[in-house]
Amino acid sequence: MFPRCLLVNLLAVVLLAPLSSALAVQDCPAGNDLVTPASDFVDNGDGTIIHTKTGLMWKRCNEGVTGTTCGTGAASAASWASAQGAALAANVENFAGHADWRLPNVKELQSLVETGCYGPSINITRFPNASVNRHWTGTSWSVFADNALWVDFQDGFTDTDAKSTAYVIRLVRGGLAGADFDSLSGGCSLDVDGNGTVEALADGMLLLRAMFGLTGTAVTNGAVGGGATRSTWTKIRAYLNGSCGGAFAP
């Protein structure tokens, strides 16, 4: 049963204060590998996008925005409870013929992060005019129940905030079971550089430097093992955040 406050939000048609409609110009620095190419997505032509690697179906536009290029309106901001209410409203509407829309959990939303680009850090061919602001996930923070996790699509950073805070919404449905979804990335291991072995002076050093807040080459210099598949901070950060539940900054 949904909490009573969510139904109140729905029945009262509580929708949401628009954020600034200004959009940043996406920057994809030369040499960065793209992890969410347009070929990984299918546009269904009905306002929904399927991510073939996860099986998840996403609404093409942020809540508050409509149109084939998501050019009408402005991304709306809402508290976490009202964001849940927005999902209920999409289900009452039977958007694109489906009535099981929801907030994505944190790993699902992180699967859209394009680590090779920022401003926004998402594939803008499949998600045009995407908001660069923080997006709510449906994942509550285990430390404080009145906080939930968000993903910032300016740079892909993840953190927590009070559920009363107003953040942007992108809804999802379907997809794989949780265990299968996690296995897409191979899970989290101490093989941080991805060369097939765990080495204290390589993987351990990379993790330690990241945990102390270092970024870029300050993390990787002299600490990447031979045959590494993750030799740059961009790739290591994406692995730690996406597979290990980290929240490391760019």
Per-residue model confidence as pLDDT tens digits over 194-248: 887 888 889 889 988 988 889 999 999 999 998 888 899 988 888 787 666 667 8
Is residue 135's pLDDT more than 90?
yes
Do 174 and 192 lie in a common domain?
no
Do 175 and 246 lie in a common domain?
no
Do 125 and 226 lie in a common domain?
no
Domain count, the chain: 2
> Crossing angle of helices 80-93/4-11, nearest 10°?
60
pLDDT digits (tens, 9 = 90+) for 37-85: 999 999 999 999 999 888 899 999 999 999 999 999 999 999 999 999 9
DSSP string spanning 38-76?
GGGEEE-SSSEEEETTTTEEEESS-TTEESTTS-EE--E
Do 80 and 152 lie in a common domain?
yes
Do 120 and 20 lie in a common domain?
yes
Domain that holds residue 169: 4-183
Do 205 and 157 lie in a common domain?
no
Do 89 and 124 lie in a common domain?
yes
Helix spans in 2-146 (H):
4-11, 80-93, 106-110
Do 61 and 98 lie in a common domain?
yes
C-alpha pair distances (Å), 80 with each of 42, 125, 149, 188, 214: 29, 28, 10, 28, 31
Do 233 and 137 lie in a common domain?
no
Is residue 17's pLDDT more than 70?
no
Is residue 7's pLDDT more than 70?
no
Closest-CA residue to 131 (of 119, 117, 115, 147): 119
Q: What's the pLDDT score for residue 22? A: 45
Three-class SS of residue 191? coil
Instruction: Give the domain-ending residue among 167, 183, 199.
Output: 183
Q: Provide the edge-to-edge strand list for the sheet that holds 158-162.
A: 17-18, 76-78, 167-168, 134-140, 147-152, 158-162
Rounded CA separation 112/94 (Å): 24
Q: What's the pLDDT score for residue 177? A: 46
Do 71 and 97 lie in a common domain?
yes
Do 163 and 194 lie in a common domain?
no
Do 155 and 212 lie in a common domain?
no
Rounded CA separation 170/135 (Å): 7
Rounded CA separation 25/7 (Å): 38
Rounded CA separation 50/81 (Å): 26
CA-based R_g, the chain, Å: 19
Residue type, 109: L
